[in-house]
Chains A and B, each alone.
Chain A
Amino acid sequence: RKEVEQDPGPFNVPEGATVAFNCTYSNSASQSFFWYRQDCRKEPKLLMSVYSSGNEDGRFTAQLNRASQYISLLIRDSKLSDSATYLCVVNLGSTGRRALTFGSGTRLQVQP
């Protein structure tokens, strides 16, 4: 089993649609969670951190479920510019260890 697992997609959705991605992680002691976005042939960029209480940034909402060890990302009113690969990222280690583990990514294609 992968330490951080995502559905690779692709998710093909029309503009304006709502789309949700899930991600599961293996270590119940994990402390930090993120969603990164990666455009084709570019570097990963932080989209948002994921907090225990859930958090929202404009059209993007992230949720954490520690009991089930999964993270979700919801994108509302999808735009063409949202087309990218979304990486689920977890610090699987103990406090103080800074290494992040990246999922393989979920590809989103928003169509006109």
Chain B
Amino acid sequence: DAGVIQSPRHEVTEMGQEVTLRCKPISGHDYLFWYRQTMMRGLELLIYFNNNVPIDDSGMPEDRFSAKMPNASFSTLKIQPSEPRDSAVYFCASSPTSGRALSTDTQYFGPGTRLTVL
């Protein structure tokens, strides 16, 4: 089975540019999560969706960040305009509703997008 797919794997951009990160969750998973990881702050939850609906976006740092999930197999995280402090690894994770996982809270992570804003 394919795991969580993220693209691009690496992104280098200049301050002020728009950045779009993409995620395809594991098929059949109803929950999708976006995280950011930095050395200083560790792994932080930005937003999560259930059945394509945003449930909790309290971790989104500011209005420059937005996330969408137009269908069950695709989500985007957009940063506009980007700033050097946005440099981090952005992970997408997905989770099933019930049944197959050891625990319904178990999350499966994608390989991440390493973002560098110059």
Closest beta carbon of chain B to A106's beta carbon, Å: 12
List chain A residues, Cβ under 8 A from B95.
98
Give the complex CA separation of A42 and B3 in angstroms: 14
Chain A proximity mask over B33-59: 1 for CB below 8 Å, otherwise 0: 100000000110100101000011000
A102 & B106 in contact (Cβ 8 Å cutoff): no
- Could you say which of A31, A42, A98, A103 contacts B111, with CB atoms under 8 Å apart? A42
Closest beta carbon of chain A to B78's beta carbon, Å: 21
List chain B residues, Cβ under 8 A from A102.
42-43
A44 & B109 in contact (Cβ 8 Å cutoff): yes
B106 & A46 in contact (Cβ 8 Å cutoff): yes
Closest beta carbon of chain A to B13's beta carbon, Å: 20
The total of Cβ contacts below 8 Å across the A-B interface reads 45
Chain B proximity mask over A61-101: 1 for CB below 8 Å, otherwise 0: 00000000000000000000000000100010000011111
Q: How large is the interface on A (under 10, 10 to 19, 20 to 34, 35 or more residues)?
A: 20 to 34
Give the complex CA separation of A104 and B111 in angstroms: 19
List chain A residues, Cβ under 8 A from B25.
none
- Could you say which of B45, B103, B108 contacts A49, with CB atoms under 8 Å apart? B103
List chain A residues, Cβ under 8 A from B105.
31-32, 34, 91, 98, 100
List chain A residues, Cβ under 8 A from B110.
43
Closest beta carbon of chain B to A111's beta carbon, Å: 23
List chain B residues, Cβ under 8 A from A99.
33, 45, 48, 56
A87 & B111 in contact (Cβ 8 Å cutoff): no
B31 & A104 in contact (Cβ 8 Å cutoff): no
- Could you say which of B31, B43, B48, B102 contacts A44, with CB atoms under 8 Å apart? B43
A-B contact pairs, 9 of them (CB 8 A): A32-B103, A32-B105, A34-B105, A42-B111, A43-B112, A46-B102, A99-B45, A100-B45, A100-B105
A100-B45, A100-B107 are known; give 8 further A-B pairs, CB within 8 A.
A31-B105, A34-B105, A34-B106, A44-B109, A91-B105, A98-B48, A98-B50, A98-B55
